[in-house]
Structure 1
Amino acid sequence: MRILVLGGDGYLGWPTSLHLSRCGHDVAVADNFARRQYDFELGVESLVPIESLQTRVAAWREATGASIEVFVGDLTDADFTYGILRSFRPHAVVHFAEQRAAPYSMIDRKHAVYTQVNNVVGTLNLLYAIAEVDRDIHLVKLGTMGEYGTPNIDIEEGWLDLEYKGRKDRVLYPKRPGSFYHLSKVHDSHNIEFACRIWGLRATDLNQGVVYGQQTPETALDDRLATRFDYDAVFGTVLNRFVIQAVLGHPLTVYGRGGQRRGIIDIRDTVRCIQLACENPAERGEFRVFNQMTEAMSVKEIAETVVRCFPGEARIEHLDNPRVEQEEHYYNVTHTGLLELGLTPHLLSDTLITSLFDVTKRHAHRVRLEALRPKVDWRRHASPVQET
């Protein structure tokens, strides 16, 4: 297959591109390098040094003999978006190219507006481009489990069969997201479903849980192929922060009581899920939804797992929760679609033991301690970050 990966320079986009290439697919990547600009803005870098996209692509060619084509541009530029589809003519488009951090979207008005415009407009341009260039292109879109919020009923895979006043219908599962970022993903899902229903497009919406891990078999081939390892309070995932705090001998900072439950998934399973979705496309006119997660754990349970697996002393500290969220809630998620396609999940404790602690120890000198503490408060409509 010819597969175009949008956001192919990012934390997940890069290892996904390598995995698809190693599976024998003809891969191209597109990126505007906005994620690298966020590092300059926030004054923090990936714990693991990452090479330029051009260096990465050259290293992949050296390691495997496979070529990856590169497009540089922005999906909010409609001409660029149409152009890459006409040039590469993909069978599938994997869409990672969005601002992905809830805290970033909650810094202030400017960051909220940027997140919504970048994410929603970029996806709209892509939908129109697919509709006009080739409606057989299968869109594989990275969504988020955060779209659902924390409802007091089971979370189904995108759709809900209901009966009301004696009548039955199948509707999109109700969404109640917890940040302007998650709201942008909800808008995406509705726009994609609309395009499938009206234009007959085919799309798979992958509502992904929190991803952990930094290495895949492909990135491990050469240090120049490494992907990001974000740990700061804006872009870093909670598990990454806990691992770094344990290695440095700092307490693991749990927000509130830590009863917030999350769906989680190993990065090795993420790239496999994308492969399975691409190789088993949705039908024409179908808006297919998979809940892309393998386990559900509370934040406190994640911290306790890190403490248990760490070969040394580690302890937990509870902080005031800067987010507006339920700290104890029902959470039961249906996630059978990808398992039925052949996913064999990795376990959280296994990943911690085999890779995360070792990666962190190797690069611990790069940690900026001040970046570990939360600075974005959901209850504020603005922040100390100045508008320019």
Structure 2
Amino acid sequence: MDEVMRILVLGADGYLGWPTALYLSDHGHDVGVLDNFARRGYDTELGVRSLVPIASFEERIETWREVSGRQLASYVGDLTDPQFVSAAVAGFRPDAIVHFAEQRAAPYSMIDRAHAVYTQTNNVVGTLNLLYAIAETDPSIHLVKLGTMGEYGTPNIDIEEGWLEITHNGRTDRMLYPKRPGSFYHLSKVHDSHNIEFACRIWGLRATDLNQGVVYGQQTPQTALDPRLATRFDYDAVFGTVLNRFAIQAVLGHPLTVYGTGGQTRGLIDIRDTAECIRIACENPAGPGEFRVFNQMTQSLSVEQIAKTVAAAYPGAVEVDYLDNPRVESENHYYNAVHTSLEQLGLRPHLLSDTLIESLFALVEQHRDRIEPEAMRPAVQWRRQSNPSSAIVAAR
């Protein structure tokens, strides 16, 4: 690192926001952390909880000060409040803003009309407020925005990094890669990308859109320093990831539940690499007026391949069950996504390995008494319910 940066992390109380804030702080940057605790509220609403207990935001910040000697500037508020957003950005005066502060679960956005509207309002309006705050405070602030590989869907052509050069009727142009998302959540991310690209093109802002794959893992070198620094481990059917669910099912001796044929292929990335990608993006900013897109993933696997990898790594016998798929998605499809830009900037990725999976087994065993098996049961259907209220009840 050549110079200390001031970096404001939004959504810093969440699964990725918290370890990323610590990682950036540990690398010498002055870090501010902002959250409205909505993620904790979703747990209360759905009647679920993180497998790993998590400390309060205040205790986390104080613990990091005790452990590292470094202070995190704290802001509590909502991005949908424009006055709060402008005040926070103007008050901290960051060189870069890392934006994790969105409702992040596709199943949550598909529960019913209210959850779809909330997801899009929260995500799109919050990001718009942030763009205005940057433009009004200092257009040179670099926005590092967490997108998702789910914006692209599963096209029958290679997925480029955000942009595509096309030739039509003898003329050639460079345009944003066509998007075909699979949920109202993923649609909100597409709207974000279009709004950010517009702000870069019209206002001269600078932004990096990180289209991230499915994240696995729970621990980074920083969160491992003290149990009070731990980040979330979600395994429920709404917010949990498939690898987390498989790890818990293996430890419990339950079959690994694969939706449909298991042919759904997705990009994956280790939680440690997520934090490193954010650092790389912050320290190597986009230029003025540039909307830059990186595909933040390190490998791709099908759900069935993930299940078989978990089954092979677990020391006991593990069965795999195939369930009716509650989602509307292609289960057998072409998937080839380019993801070279971050590696060219220095990323040295961790790949899914038996060692990592074994560490997840140990983590699950340690907190086995907190497992609620019924939380893993898929309850949210992508097809619209004839009785909307039934979806809410089923999700809880």
Structure-1 separation of matches of 2:355 and 2:33:
27
Amino acid at match of 1:271: A
Structure 2 spans left out of the alignment, 5+ residues: none
Amino acid at match of 1:137: I
C-alpha distance after superposition, 1:267-309 (max 9, x if no partner): 0000000000000000000000000000100000000000011
Structure-1 separation of matches of 2:344 and 2:63:
35
TM-score when normalising by structure 2: 0.97
- The corresponding residue for 1:98 is 102
Change (3 A) 1:75 1:337: same
Matches within 5 A, 1:144-155: 144-155=148-159
Matches within 5 A, 1:1-388: 1-381=5-385, 382-384=388-390, 385=392
Runs of 4+ in 1 over 6 A off after TM superposition: none
How far is the alpha carbon of 1:353 from its aligned partner? Answer: 3.8
Percent of paired sites with the same residue: 73
Structure-1 separation of matches of 2:186 and 2:209:
14
User: Contact between 1:215 and 1:355, CA under 8 Å: does it hold in 2?
Assistant: no
Structure-2 separation of matches of 1:351 and 1:181:
32
Aligned residue for 2:353, secondary structure, equals helix
Amino acid at match of 1:205: D
Aligned residue for 1:274, secondary structure, equals helix
Structure 1 spans left out of the alignment, 5+ residues: none
Amino acid at match of 1:301: Q
User: Contact between 1:160 and 1:171, CA under 8 Å: does it hold in 2?
Assistant: yes
Aligned residue for 1:160, secondary structure, equals strand
How far is the alpha carbon of 1:357 from its aligned partner? Answer: 1.0
Report the RMSD for the aligned CA atoms in angstroms: 1.0
TM-score when normalising by structure 1: 0.99
User: Contact between 2:313 and 2:354, CA under 8 Å: does it hold in 1?
Assistant: no
Amino acid at match of 1:12: L
Number of residue pairs matched by the alignment: 387
User: Contact between 1:107 and 1:383, CA under 8 Å: does it hold in 2?
Assistant: no
Amino acid at match of 2:83: D
